[in-house]
Amino acid sequence: MNKSKKSCLKKKFDVLQKARKVKGTNDLFGNEILYHNQIKSCFDKICTSFNFKEISTPILEHSEIFTKSLGISSDIVLKEMYSFVDKGNDHLVLRPEGTAATARAVITNSLEQETNKLFYKGPMFRREKPQSGRLRQFHQVGVEYLGSENYVKDLEIIIIAENFLKELGIRDKVTFEINSLGNDESRKKYNCALKEFLKKNANKLSDSSKERLEKNPMRVLDSKDPQDQALIKKSPSILDFLDLESKDFFKDVVNSLDKMKINYKLNRFLVRGLDYYNHTAFEYITREQKSQNALLAGGRYNGLVKSLGGSDLAGVGWAAGIERIVMNLEKIIDNNSKIICFFTTTADLDKELLKVISDIKLKSNIKINLINSGSLKKKFVKANKVGAHGCIILGENEWESKKVIWKDFASGQQELIDLVRIEEFFSNKF
C-alpha cells in the first residue's frame, strides 16, 4: 500500500474516532441558550402570576405510564418512545411528554385531594425523523390543572397561553384553533361513523393511514400526508355527533372566548395525537405553511388520572415546544447588560486585581470579564472581541495610589477612580 492510500485511510479513521453528538439532539450555547432561558423566564413569570406551582418529574418513567395513557396505537408508543429494560428488569422510557408524567406524580405523591395547579419545563424524548422544529431531544414548557370538570378551567388555561404568547411578542404570528372531541359516548359514535366512511374510501388513503384505520380511525385526521388531506376534508365532523352534554360544554367555552374577544378558528378536524384527550382540544398554529407549525397545544383529559390507577380526577392543560417558539421569536436578548473587562498592565498585579474584583458588589446589569493573558495591546483586542462597554485597568502606579483606570470604549475617554469609589462609580454610570 502506497503512502497516499495510507494517509487517506488514516484521515478516515481519525474522522470516525471524532466525538459525535447523538442524531436529533443539539448542544445549547451562545444566543441559543439565551433564547431558551428568555422563554422559560417568561413562562415562569406568567404561571406564577396565576398562582401555579412548579413541578419537576424524572426523565425516566415506567413505560406503562405512557402505554396506558397515550394509547398503544399512538405513534409515540408504536414508533417513537425510547424504551429499554434495565438491570433490575424494569421496563423504562425516557419521558416523551409531560402531562402523563405530571398525572403520575399527583397519584404517587397523594395529591389527588388537592387543587393541583402545576407547571413544568424540561427535556422530552421521541425517536422521530429529525427536521426543523422536530428533534429527538426537545424541550417543553407546560401547565396542568387537575381537579375540576368546570369549563371555566379550560378558559383559565387558554388565558395563560394567551398571556404567555403575548409576553413573548408572538401572539400575532399564530392562529388559535379549537375543536371539541366530546365525551366518551360521543367519541364512540363518531369513531364508528368515521371508520365506515374511511373504509369506503380506503383506496384513497396512504399506507400509514390504512394501518391507523383499523386501530384508531381518529388518528387518520391527524395525518399530514397530502394523499389523506383531500379525503379528510370530506369526512364526517365530530361536532355532528356530540351529545347534549358535550354540545353545552363546548358552547360555554366558545361563548366565553367571544366575550373575552379572544380570536379563534373552529377546526373540526383537530383531534390532537394522544388518546387521553376529550372535550376541548386546541392548538396555536403559525401562519407559515410548515409541517411543524404547532407552537402550543393542549386540551381536556378527564380520564387520564383514572387510567393510571388514580381517582376519577378531571384535568386540562397545554404544552409548548421551546425550539419551535425560538424559530418564531424575535431574536432580541436583553442588551441592557454591559460587559466590563478587568485586566492589569503586568502579571505581577493579577492577585491584587482579583482582590479588587472580589470586593466589588456589582449590579445585575454588569458582567465582569477577567483577562489575564497576553500583552496589554492583546488584552484590549480581546476586550473588543467580547463586545465590552469599557475596561478597568490596574497598573503599578495606580495600585500604589489605590486607584484604577476606567476606559470607556464608546467615547474613548478614560479617568482615574478611587478603589473605595468603584461601586459608586458603576452604580452612577450604569
Predicted pLDDT at 94 = 96
Query: How many helical (H) and strand (E) elements, i.e. helices and strands, does the chain have?
Result: 16, 16
- Sketch out the chain's domains with CATH numbers: 30-183+243-328 (3.30.930.10), 338-429 (3.40.50.800)
- In this structure, which amino acid lies at residue 163? N
Phi, psi of 53 (to 5 degrees): -110, 140
Tell me the C-alpha distance between 304 and 299, whole Å: 12
Predicted pLDDT at 258 = 96
Q: What is the pLDDT of residues 295-348, one digit of tens each?
A: 999 999 998 999 999 999 999 999 999 999 999 887 665 556 789 999 999 888
Predicted pLDDT at 13 = 55
pTM of the model as a whole? 0.84
Predicted pLDDT at 250 = 97
Cell for 63?
413505560
3-state SS assignment for residue 115: coil
Phi, psi of 36 (to 5 degrees): -60, -45
Predicted pLDDT at 199 = 87
Cell for 22?
447523538
Q: Enumerate residue ranges in the chain where pLDDT < 50.
A: none
Tell me the C-alpha distance between 205 and 179, whole Å: 24
Helix axes 151-168, 30-49, angle to 10 degrees: 140
> Rounded to whole angstroms, what are the CA distances from 40 to 55, 143, 162, 398, 404?
14, 13, 15, 44, 39
Q: What residues contact residue 86 under an 8 Å CB cut-off, 6+ apart? A: 92
Q: What residues contact residue 311 under an 8 Å CB cut-off, 6+ apart? A: 112, 305
Predicted pLDDT at 214 = 76
Predicted pLDDT at 14 = 58
Of 337, 429, 355, 346, which Cα lies nearest the Cα of 393? 346
Answer for the pair 341, 392: CB distance below 8 angstroms, yes or no: yes
Tell me the C-alpha distance between 229 and 291, whole Å: 13
